[in-house]
A and B are shown apart, each in its own frame.
Chain A
Amino acid sequence: MAPRLRSGGNGLSPLLLTCVEGLSQRGGSRPLAGLTAIIQNQSQRITTPRSSSRSPPCSAPFSTSAPCELNREQRRMWAWLRGQGKKFKTAPDPDQPGPDGDTARGNGGGPNYVGSFDGTQVFRNNKLFKSEPVLSEKARDAIFSAVVEDQLPLKAVSQKFGVDMRRIAAVVRMRSIERNWIASKKPLAKPYQRAVLAMLPQADLNPGEMPFEPINDIHVHMATMQQLFHPTSESRHFTRRDAAKAFGAHTLPPDHKLRIPEMIDLERKLASGVPSEEAHDEFVAQTARTEASRAKRLKGRRTMAELNRTRVATDRFEFRFENFNSSAVGRTGRGRTAVGWRYGVPSHDRKPDQVKIPTKME
């Protein structure tokens, strides 16, 4: 029968523990082994809070190695993970209906961030970064059908849904890849998609909702970031156009920098009392025209470039020869737009550590 040891307070004497261990090692006597087990058991209960996930060596008796205890920081971390941090462990279930009771979207729980006061702030210290909604599957379908099935111009789709034109192009591009995958029976990452979307705030793009993102934002030109003293008469009608000119010959007025400048015309028509439907129809026609002319211009540029190029196909490579203007090298012979090897300009191509990462993939 092993003698029982009863510890009065929290602390067990480490001296006693080592003494007992030493004895058991030397003699290997059974009763003391039981005692060691009890002591170790108790000391563990004190040091590790709920030590269910501890590794087995800690609980093994007769260990000569130092007892693996958690330090203060580790104890705090585990306490937090088991307490307040517990809600972050499991992801929201996509099969549960969301807070709005919408089962189709499968947004059970929704976003869950540490910095969250209103549910969108990801980082506690950074109020200036928000987890903004992403397009839901329903919204992506709506955009795809508007572009592909209804054949609306991109600008009109952008205005209709309040989504940036570049995003619309990206949605359509990736949806068509997805369609190809489905047609060729390539498996999609459906479980991943459902799980990730359930963790994110989503926008369905229903009419009457907040606009998804600004569609007519313009880049702030470096030249306009300083204040400018521009003396002019008080009676002068000084417009945006004049201001742009004052900043320099190369700065355009914002009316020309808008992504969808046709929207200004639309607003003017609406203000002048043109019926909404008629104005919108005209807007769609106008955007279709501008897009068609842009497409034509791009096509013309491409054919011109092709005329300037000779292709020679061999069984391994396709060689492309281009005409170039030899005077482009300039007076120093080192013009930046010129091509070819130039005398006196060192080439670092074959030097070690010269990683030649491509700058574009086309």
Chain B
Amino acid sequence: MKYRRVSRYHGLKRPRVRQTWNKYNLYNLNNLREPKTLYNTFFQQKWGAKALARGYHGEHIKEKKWERMFSRRLLSVTDMDPKYMAHFDGSEQAAGRGSGKTQAPGSPPAPRNGTSTKHTPYMQMTFAPLERRLDIAIFRALFASSARQAHSLVVHGAVKVNGMKMKYPGYLLNPGDLFQVDVDRVLDCTGVKKATAPKKIEAASEPVKEESGKKLKETKIAAKTLKKRRADIKKLYWIAKGLLEGKSQSKSDGETETETNKVLRMKRQIRARKNAVRALVNTVKKINPLTPDQEFLDDESKATELVTNLSELLQELHLDFVDPERARQKFVETEMAKAKLEAQMQANKSTMLRNHPSNAADMSKAEKMAAKREAKREAERILLGPVKEAADQLQSTDRGTLSQLIVKQLVNPYDPKKTYVTPWQPRPYMSPFAFIPRYLEVNQNICAAVYLRHPVARQGLAEVPTPFSEELNQLAHNWYLRRG
């Protein structure tokens, strides 16, 4: 089906409230005044009311189609209180002259089912049949920013109903139907749009320069902050890298170490690691790379690469922090490997000192193994104490903060390949439109929702989300009853 064509979709002169999250629509919704009907004929009143109401309810659906969907049966429910039902069989309401006994003033009130005395707003249910449509249900579940967008999601095959692809936006959901929208498409529809490339302003002559001295200053400041930001991110990147790879690479290999030297080196390493963690936390706090400047990211491919690398590094780091046992293991392993190498070197050296090939041949395998084991034990003795200390240090408050930040980065990563701005943010002016009616149960994690039942009216509440008053909806309902 083609869209119904609408001129001036978000007009301000003759405003129509629409099913969108647009800011023009928000303004129109805020200023919505219902037409005065005092001097109008009944026909005019009905016409005006249905025109206004149809501008919101399924404006993309042709009038003929909606006329066929319209139903004069308006669903409602009444709440039954089991406590009341356990105590009364209803005969007290038929007592007296058939409409309940008249109570003497001052006597306790007659038992009632429930407490609400409000009326049931049936007229607000006029457009309830439209809420059954798949596209409108997707919009109501907050998976698309307008009903028309939801319509196109369905047409382009991003929606499944009960696990099967459904391509008809006009599919009427049955109670219990589960519909799922592709997660990436939902993030695209509800997230901040990527800015299109700015239009090139034609090179203007001097007057522009004259008048835009202030502008020039602004751009200079922007460039400066940009440069600083870039430097910050770079710094962060190197800190993270250093933290991961360990900072003790400077020691030359061939040198032999005394035990005290070894312990000192270990301590230095731990201190360096601790400092690095602290520096990382401080930098992260300061520049907040999790929401990098879009301008900056678009500007420089190098910066993009840096941030991507950084997120990988952070991921690796995160594993360390989430699982301290793994971190400790890793630390021990690297140090063991180093110690082993050193032991090997020392053994080689001693063999060289002996300077006798036959002696070396004499040295049996068992002896070699014993020497190795000895070296290992020695290494463990030296290493394990400081390692434990390091792990304890990592469990300090820094660890919590850093871990939180890293988790945030992992959950909502920067990804330049996406069609929306990353890290994902909800689009502006979304919150005044964010509500989920009770006939839907939504799981936002998997972008799925279940159509539990048809919308109903109950005492004091109607479940059809309509921006119009009961009077206006009643007039619209009367129009569709087609009784002249």
Residue numbers of A with Cβ under 8 A of B are: 33-34, 36-38, 41, 56, 60-61, 73-74, 76-77, 80-81, 85, 88-92, 95, 109, 111-114, 122-126, 128-132, 134-135, 140, 164, 166-167, 170-171, 173-175, 177-178, 181, 187-193, 195-197, 199-200, 213-214, 216-220, 222, 232, 234, 237-241, 243, 254-255, 258, 260, 263-268, 271, 355, 357-362
Contacts and interface: CB of A to CB of B under 8 A. Distances in A.
Of the listed residues A177, A266, A360, A361, the one surrounded by the most CB atoms of chain B closer than 10 A to its CB is A361
A219 B80 CA distance: 10
A56 B199 contact: yes
Contacts of B87: 267, 271
Contacts of A95: 408
Given A61-B204, A188-B183, A77 B24 contact: yes
Of the listed residues A128, A135, A181, A190, the one surrounded by the most CB atoms of chain B closer than 10 A to its CB is A128
A268 B86 contact: yes
Contact of B443 (A126, A131, A164, A178): A178
A200 B412 CA distance: 20
Contacts of B472: 125
A220 B467 CA distance: 25
A355 B155 CA distance: 14
22 contacts: A34-B210, A81-B23, A122-B435, A125-B34, A125-B469, A132-B438, A164-B452, A171-B443, A173-B178, A178-B445, A188-B183, A191-B412, A192-B183, A192-B191, A197-B444, A232-B98, A239-B90, A267-B83, A268-B86, A271-B86, A355-B168, A357-B170
B172 interface: yes
Contact of B26 (A114, A214, A240): A114
Contact of B211 (A37, A191, A243, A362): A37
B431 A125 contact: no
A221 to B, nearest CB: 10
Contacts of A111: 431, 434-435
B29 A123 contact: yes
Of the listed residues A88, A200, A239, the one surrounded by the most CB atoms of chain B closer than 10 A to its CB is A88
B469 A199 contact: no
B483 to A, nearest CB: 18
Interface string B86-103: 110111001001100000
A128 B170 CA distance: 27
Nearest to B450: A170
Main secondary structure of the interface of B (DSSP, over half): loop
A190 B446 CA distance: 9
A192 B424 contact: yes
A140 B445 CA distance: 12
Contacts of B446: 174, 177-178, 181, 188-189
A85 B428 CA distance: 12
Sort chain B's interface into a size bin. 35 or more
Contacts of B336: none
Nearest to A132: B438
B153 to A, nearest CB: 14
Contacts, number: 269
Contact of B82 (A112, A195, A264): A264
Given A61-B207, A187-B183, A129 B168 contact: no
B32 A124 contact: yes
Given A111-B435, A170-B441, A241-B90, 18 more contacts: A61-B204, A61-B207, A85-B30, A91-B430, A111-B434, A125-B472, A134-B436, A174-B443, A177-B448, A181-B446, A188-B183, A192-B183, A200-B434, A219-B75, A238-B90, A254-B80, A258-B80, A260-B82
Of the listed residues B34, B90, B164, the one surrounded by the most CB atoms of chain A closer than 10 A to its CB is B90
B26 A60 contact: no
Contact of A60 (B81, B202, B438): B202
A296 to B, nearest CB: 20
B79 interface: yes
Nearest to A134: B436
B445 A61 contact: no
B432 interface: yes
B462 interface: yes
Contact of A112 (B85, B174, B202, B431): B431
A216 B79 contact: yes
A88 B429 CA distance: 5
Contact of B204 (A60, A134, A189): A60
Interface string B56-79: 000000000000000001011111
A88 B34 contact: no
B465 A122 contact: yes
A195 B425 contact: yes
Given A81-B27, A191-B424, A166 B171 contact: no
B32 A125 contact: yes
B190 interface: yes
Nearest to A182: B445
B28 to A, nearest CB: 9
Contact of A171 (B90, B191, B434, B441): B441
B317 interface: no
B312 to A, nearest CB: 16
B147 to A, nearest CB: 16
A124 B30 contact: yes
Contacts of A61: 204, 207-208
B442 A90 contact: no
10 nearest CB pairs, A to B: A240-B90, A267-B86, A170-B450, A131-B435, A73-B12, A193-B444, A199-B434, A174-B443, A263-B82, A238-B94
Contacts of A358: 166, 168, 171
A118 to B, nearest CB: 14
A218 B436 CA distance: 22
Interface string B232-251: 00000000000000000000
A359 B81 CA distance: 35
Interface string B452-480: 11001010111111111110100000000
Nearest to A127: B469
B187 interface: yes
Contacts of A92: 431
B161 interface: yes
A193 B445 contact: yes
Given A60-B202, A199-B434, A217 B458 contact: yes
A129 B462 contact: yes
Contacts of A178: 443, 445-446
A217 B425 contact: no
Contacts of A125: 32, 34, 467-469, 472
B79 A214 contact: yes
B76 A220 contact: yes
A197 B442 CA distance: 11
Contacts of A181: 445-446
